[in-house]
């Protein structure tokens, strides 16, 4: 959470009241001290806020732990050793591998879940983020939340805003009293020999009461919560309109069945309750009746199946000629990137072996690959040194055991265990082997001439939000870096899993610009988002990317601002040699 307030409704209403005042002071400079020799300014803090939300917010909050630690006070904590903090933020892995003690301690504390690498950020940009953190966050997020409280209002009745323990205790007391009354009644019925309460009738009537209450709940729910049903806001994609129609027909087919069968269930239960000296009507079966209620659902379902079948094929095979504009959507723990094809209109090939801090998507580029091999070789060297350092580190740890007691001793013993069990060594050796394999693969790919390194990726633009042109079909091609994610675009009725090693895609046409949807929803702050919808780790719930739908002119303007990934180099003559399977993932077709 970016701002720490009591997020209960009362608190939010309070903020609603103070919203305007707060907003005007949103970036008031509260900096206590210059950071890295630089004084904070409103512009810097504002920049920091943007950078934080784009890069850090999915894993960090100011005042509580999300995946990584809470960041409030981080500047104080590392004020002595600011360069260390900078290098940690930029590339924590490098620090860990270099054997830096502090880095290893943090690494161990978070069970070896590494922070992402931010070599793309400059020292000054990181300092801006830290200024923003030191300034205590901003009012920007409050503004977002405040806009939401307006929507909460109609649903809220304040009744359930917190657990009332007095009510709980009273419920328990009532239950105890009920128990006592039941006990007395049972005693009476034992003595008199007949039941005091006719439970059968009570429950039969309760069935009727429940029936009314249940239908009441359904109608209440429908009237209150259906206002958020996506189908109420016209779909922002072309196929979505048809999907909404199909949804409506499915409701029409199922709702009457729901009401009729539930009514019959509870009504029969009431009507045919046990009566004295009555015998039930012996009816073991009736074939005609059974044929009818087999055939009717079969026919209704056949209609729905054929509709769904057509729809499904239409949506998933909507790009037969493959001429639609392509955008790559890349998912990683925990965020999204998008890649635009650039001037040549073609996405360059990409491969997971090419990923590093400056090329987060692993787009193929010869110079980058050569550079990366050098980097990896250096990495191997440093790990080799670390491997050799192990016995010495163990000796230091053992000698440090002397004066420690209790928890400290336990911690130290745990650390020693990681060395003596061979885990540490095995871990390093595995990493070294993986680096060697990676270098082999890269070298093979480089030697293959052409193939992956066709230079088509050099002008690709890697961005942090998707911009789409209204009414223009677009083909999203999905690629995952680490685990399975799922790209969910609720307003576009679009969803597709993002699977490592298995490229997937989805084609659709956006037909409502962000502006138009803002008008429909009556919310000027509204934005489309692509969110993750497949459990992917601790910060799964924070994985989102903004999607903007706009007209061609604004799209072109935005596009012009995006820098190409690599400076354009003269292309190497491409030869029709194929590269090994592992290096051509982007071209694989998703068939399984």
Site for other proteins in 222-261 (CB under 8 A): 222, 225-226, 228-231, 240, 243, 246-247, 250, 253-254, 257-258, 261
Q: Which member of 398, 425, 515, 544 binds other proteins (CB under 8 A)?
A: 544
Q: State how far the Cα of 98 lies from the Cα of 375, in Å rounded to an integer.
A: 14
In whole angstroms, the minimum distance from the beta carbon of 396 to other proteins comes to: 24
Considering only CA atoms, which of 466, 445, 427, 396 is closest in space to residue 582?
445
Omega within 30 of 0 (cis) for the link into 30: no
The tokens describing 272, both together, are 């045919």
Site for other proteins in 111-170 (CB under 8 A): 111-117, 144-145, 147-148, 151-152, 155-157, 160-163
Query: Look-up: residue for tokens 């901003």?
Result: 138
For residue 499, give the DSSP letter: B
User: Residue 65 forms beta bridges with which residues?
Assistant: 60
Q: Which member of 49, 533, 565, 579 binds other proteins (CB under 8 A)?
A: 533
For residues 496 and 478, the answer to whether their CB atoms sit within 8 Å is yes
For residues 537 and 427, the answer to whether their CB atoms sit within 8 Å is no
In whole angstroms, the minimum distance from the beta carbon of 425 to other proteins comes to: 16
Residues 429-468, mask of contacts with other proteins (x by CB under 8 A): --x-xxx-xx------------------------------
Span of 76-84, 122-130, 451-459, 530-538 interacting with other proteins by CB under 8 A: 530-538
Q: How far is CA 79 from CA 34, 37, 107, 165, in A?
A: 10, 11, 20, 45
By CB under 8 A, tell whether 182 contacts other proteins: yes
CA atoms in the 13 A half-sphere facing the CB of 437:
10
Checking phi first, is residue 458 left (phi over 0); if not, alpha (psi -120 to 50) or beta? alpha
What size, in residues, is the chain? 592
Say how many residues touch other proteins, by CB under 8 A.
170
Span of 20-28, 401-409, 451-459, 584-592 interacting with other proteins by CB under 8 A: 584-592
Beta carbon nearer to other proteins, 365 or 585:
585
Q: Which member of 486, 509, 513, 514 binds other proteins (CB under 8 A)?
A: 486
For residues 349 and 578, the answer to whether their CB atoms sit within 8 Å is no
Site for other proteins in 398-427 (CB under 8 A): none
Site for other proteins in 322-381 (CB under 8 A): 332-333, 351-353, 355, 362, 379
Beta carbon nearer to other proteins, 340 or 478:
478
Beta carbon nearer to other proteins, 394 or 484:
484
Residues 87-116, mask of contacts with other proteins (x by CB under 8 A): ------x----------------xxxxxxx
Residue 88, class by beta-carbon neighbours within 10 Å (0-12 exposed, 13-18 middle, 19+ buried)?
buried
Q: Which member of 532, 549, 565, 579 binds other proteins (CB under 8 A)?
A: 532
């Amino acid at each position: 959470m970016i701002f720490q307030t009591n997020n209960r409704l009362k608190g939010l209403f309070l903020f609603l009241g103070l919203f305007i005042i707060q907003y005007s002071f949103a970036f008031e400079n509260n900096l206590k001290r210059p950071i890295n020799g630089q004084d904070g300014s409103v512009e810097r803090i504002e920049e920091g806020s943007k950078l934080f939300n784009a890069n850090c917010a999915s894993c960090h909050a100011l005042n509580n732990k999300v995946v990584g630690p809470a960041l409030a006070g981080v500047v104080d904590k590392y004020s002595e050793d600011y360069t260390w903090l900078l290098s940690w933020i930029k590339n924590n892995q490098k620090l860990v591998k270099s054997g830096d003690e502090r880095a290893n301690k943090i690494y161990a504390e978070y069970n070896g879940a590494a922070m992402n690498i931010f070599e793309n950020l400059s020292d000054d940009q990181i300092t801006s983020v830290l200024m923003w953190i030191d300034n205590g966050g901003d009012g920007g997020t409050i503004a977002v939340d405040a806009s939401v409280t307006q929507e909460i209002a109609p649903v809220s009745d304040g009744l359930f805003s917190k657990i009332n323990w007095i009510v709980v205790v009273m419920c328990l007391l009532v239950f105890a009293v009920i128990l006592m009354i039941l006990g007395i009644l049972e005693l009476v019925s034992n003595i008199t020999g007949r039941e005091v309460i006719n439970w059968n009738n009570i429950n039969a009537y309760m069935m009727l009461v429940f029936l009314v209450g249940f239908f009441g709940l359904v109608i209440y729910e429908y009237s209150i919560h259906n206002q958020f049903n996506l189908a109420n806001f016209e779909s922002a994609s072309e196929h979505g309109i048809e999907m909404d129609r199909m949804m409506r027909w499915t409701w029409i087919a199922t709702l009457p069945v729901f009401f009729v069968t539930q009514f019959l269930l509870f009504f029969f239960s009431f009507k045919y309750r046990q009566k004295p000296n009555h015998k039930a009507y012996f009816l073991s079966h009736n074939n005609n009746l059974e044929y009818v209620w087999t055939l009717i659902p079969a026919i209704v379902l056949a209609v729905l199946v054929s509709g769904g079948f057509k729809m499904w094929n239409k949506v998933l095979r909507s790009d037969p000629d493959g001429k639609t504009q392509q955008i790559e959507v890349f998912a990683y723990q925990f965020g999204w990137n998008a890649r635009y094809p650039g001037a040549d209109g073609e996405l360059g090939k990409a491969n997971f072996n090419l990923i590093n801090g400056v090329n987060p998507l692993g787009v193929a580029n010869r110079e980058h690959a050569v550079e990366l091999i050098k980097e990896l070789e250096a990495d191997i060297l440093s790990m080799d040194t670390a491997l050799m350092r192990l016995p010495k580190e163990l000796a230091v740890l053992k000698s440090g055991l002397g004066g420690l007691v209790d928890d400290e001793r336990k911690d130290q013993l745990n650390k020693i265990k990681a060395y003596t069990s061979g885990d540490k060594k095995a871990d390093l050796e595995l990493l070294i082997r993986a680096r060697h394999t990676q270098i082999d693969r890269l070298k093979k790919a480089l030697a293959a001439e052409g193939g992956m390194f066709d230079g088509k990726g050099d002008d690709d633009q890697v961005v942090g939000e998707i911009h789409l042109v209204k009414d223009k079909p677009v083909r999203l091609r999905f690629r995952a870096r680490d685990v399975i994610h799922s790209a969910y675009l609720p307003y576009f009725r679009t969803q597709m899993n993002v699977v490592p090693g298995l490229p997937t895609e989805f084609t659709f046409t956006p037909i409502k610009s962000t502006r138009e949807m803002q008008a429909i929803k009556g919310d000027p702050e509204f934005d489309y988002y692509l969110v993750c919808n497949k459990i992917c780790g601790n910060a799964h719930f924070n994985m989102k990317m903004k999607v903007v739908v706009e007209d061609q002119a604004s799209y072109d303007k935005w596009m012009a601002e995006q820098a190409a990934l690599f400076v354009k180099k003269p292309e190497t003559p491409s030869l029709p040699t194929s590269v090994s399977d592992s290096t051509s993932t982007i071209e694989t077709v998703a068939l399984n």
